[in-house]
């Protein structure tokens, strides 16, 4: 596969991210301009910036809103429901929401299930990406919470916010394994969103390859996303930007 083709393949998966509460209109306009030029899958921002982004983003590029507390998720299912509902009211096509880990053996439990149900119901059919914060979890907890999330009908399991650690190779592999296993037994085709510290082409290519080695059907923007604020620059400098 040529560099240009590989660049296009990665851009198709990109959730171009700007998560800064104090982002200026100039910053937001730049993100939208880049998304429009390179046709990323989505632009990911906070709900307070949704109106501006909507006015500056071309048709066909999704607006993904990070709802609720970030990077630390809310402890209240009611607060989560209200936050996701607000994001929907702001015009979200997609919702990214943190499921906050707990540092005890009961995680994940009834509280996490209540939060996931609140997210799914409040999203009102929008694409729901649940941020699991894999850097804070052991393997048992990671597999358990991923299975729980998938059982409630989330559309993507997302590795992490990137604010408390990056996406490891092991985490990407486990998420892909669990999604593949889920699809063998249940209807639907959920996906994986890898995010956290992905700033270089080689990192993106390696993580995509790990996911595809587990299940080649986890591909295309309907089932695989890459969340990043800095990867685009490396892709452009090494690929489409020189054409």
Catalytic residues: 96, 158, 193
Enumerate the β-bridge partners of residue 43: 16, 63
Q: Which class for 10: exposed (0-12), middle (13-18), buried (19 or more C-beta within 10 A)?
A: buried
CB atoms within 10 A of CB 131: 27
- The 3-class secondary structure across the chain, one letter per residue, is CCHHHHHHHHHCCEEEECCCCCCCHHHHHHHHHHHHHHCCCEEEECHHHHHHHHHHCCCCCEEEEEECCCCCCCCCHHHHHHHHHHHHHCCCCEEEEECCCCCCCCCCCHHHHHHHHHHHHHCCCCEEEEECCHHHCCHHHHHHHHHHHHHCCCCEEECCCCCCCCCCHHHHHHHHHHHHHHHHHCCCCCEEEEECCCCCHHHHHHHHHHHHHHCCCCCCCCCEEEEECCHHHHHHHHCHHHC
Structure tokens given for 205: 């290519």
């Amino acid at each position: 596969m040529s560099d240009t083709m590989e660049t296009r393949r990665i851009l198709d998966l990109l959730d171009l991210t700007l998560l800064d509460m104090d982002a200026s209109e100039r910053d937001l306009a730049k993100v939208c301009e880049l998304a429009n030029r390179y046709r990323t899958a989505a632009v990911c921002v906070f709900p307070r910036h949704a109106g501006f982004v909507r006015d500056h983003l071309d048709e066909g590029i999704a607006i993904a809103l990070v709802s609720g507390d970030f990077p630390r998720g809310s402890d209240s299912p009611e607060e989560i429901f209200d936050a996701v509902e607000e994001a929907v009211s702001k015009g979200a096509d997609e919702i990214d929401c943190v499921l906050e880990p707990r540092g005890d053996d009961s995680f994940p439990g009834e509280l996490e299930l209540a939060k996931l149900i609140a997210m799914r119901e409040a999203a009102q059919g929008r694409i729901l990406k649940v941020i699991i914060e894999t850097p804070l979890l052991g393997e048992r907890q990671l597999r358990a919470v991923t299975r729980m999330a998938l059982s409630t009908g989330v559309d993507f399991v997302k590795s992490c916010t990137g604010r408390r650690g990056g996406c490891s190779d092991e985490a990407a592999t486990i998420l892909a394994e669990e999604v593949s296993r889920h699809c063998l037994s249940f209807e639907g085709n959920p996906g994986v969103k890898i995010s956290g510290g992905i700033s270089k082409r080689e990192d993106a290519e390696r993580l995509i390859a790990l996911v595809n080695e587990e299940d080649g059907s986890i591909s295309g923007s309907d089932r695989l996303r890459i969340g990043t604020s800095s990867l685009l620059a490396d892709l452009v400098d090494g690929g489409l930007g020189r054409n």
